[in-house]
Amino acid sequence: MSAGVPVKRIYRGELGQVNFEPTNRVFRTLVPVVHRLARLLTKTPTWHGGENLPATGPVIIVPNHISSLDPVVVGEFLAYNGRWPHFLARANLFYLPVLGRLLRSAEQIPVHRGGRHARDALFEAERALYAGEVIVIYPEGTITFDPDEWPMAAHTGAARLALATGAPVIPIGQWGASIAVPPRGIRPFKLQRAPITIECGSPIDLSDFLGQPDTPQVVRAASVRIMDAITAQVELARGAKAPEGRWQPRLKRRVARVEALS
């Protein structure tokens, strides 16, 4: 795809012309269907930075999170730029009758919050990365609580995964999904086709952290750098400057970036 050019006329027959990565039949069939359904809620998206995605090999994608539509928006971008995404998603979704079966068939990864299975998702993500696959993890862990929808305080899972595997980390800033599907009643739902913009950045330089002991200080510093890179891409997507500090949901206010970890 040409950087900065809105995507035009991508149909099922064309996916095979831009994505040559092996995957199962369910995934390859599902993506064009989701693409067409997405056009009911969104306009033709504008994508920038697809050239920053490695054509092969392990990649960790770290997007901002503003809507339950985000996986569709980001997944579409990745698939039509040649890579099949494997999302870390809430485990309860995998128990839904139809959606759960599709998620399992498409080799997505359930995240169990708390309990003895809480770390299973990161182990499974590591396995996928060592197999050369693409992992998508939302560092915020949930849709942002920031009142202006900017990226909020991060969990440390994305940083831990990056430091454990050495896989390149690609930040994505996207805007528009929360207009189509507003979260938590922040605005009335209106059936409208929202404009979508995705900015995909170059790999985040975490080289100074690699090989260091996995201490809380190192992981926190890597997490802050990841969120800074995501926020920079969101600024491009929104055409606006992010506020100083980062929203901390436990405190319900913005705090200094170095303090902004969940």
pLDDT tens-place string over residues 28-76? 999 989 988 899 999 999 999 999 999 999 999 999 999 999 999 999 9
pLDDT category at 6 given cuts 50, 70, 90 is low
SS (H, E, C) the chain: CCCCCECCCCCHHHHHHHCCCCCCHHHHHHHHHHHHHHCCCECCCEEECHHHCCCCCCEEEEECCCCCCHHHHHHHHHHCCCCCEEEEEEHHHHHCCCHHHHHHHCCCEEECCCCCCCCHHHHHHHHHHHCCCEEECCCCCCCCCCCCCCCECECCHHHHHHHHHCCCEEEEEEECHHHHCCCCCCCCCCCCCECCEEEECCCCCCCCCCCCCCCHHHHHHHHHHHHHHHHHHHHHHHCCCCCCCEEECCCCEEECHHHCEC
Mean pLDDT of 10-34: 82
Q: Report the mean per-residue pLDDT for the chain.
A: 91
Instruction: Say what the pLDDT of residue 150 is.
Output: 98
Instruction: Say what the pLDDT of residue 233 is.
Output: 99
Mean pLDDT of 186-209: 90
Which is higher by pLDDT, 242 or 37? 242
pLDDT category at 185 given cuts 50, 70, 90 is confident
Mean pLDDT of 171-187: 91
Instruction: Say what the pLDDT of residue 12 is.
Output: 45
pLDDT category at 207 given cuts 50, 70, 90 is very high
Residue 115 has pLDDT above 60, yes or no: yes
The C-alpha atoms of residue 81 and residue 233 are separated, in whole angstroms, by 18
Mean pLDDT of 162-168: 98
Domains of the chain listed by start with CATH number: 12-259 (3.40.1130.10)
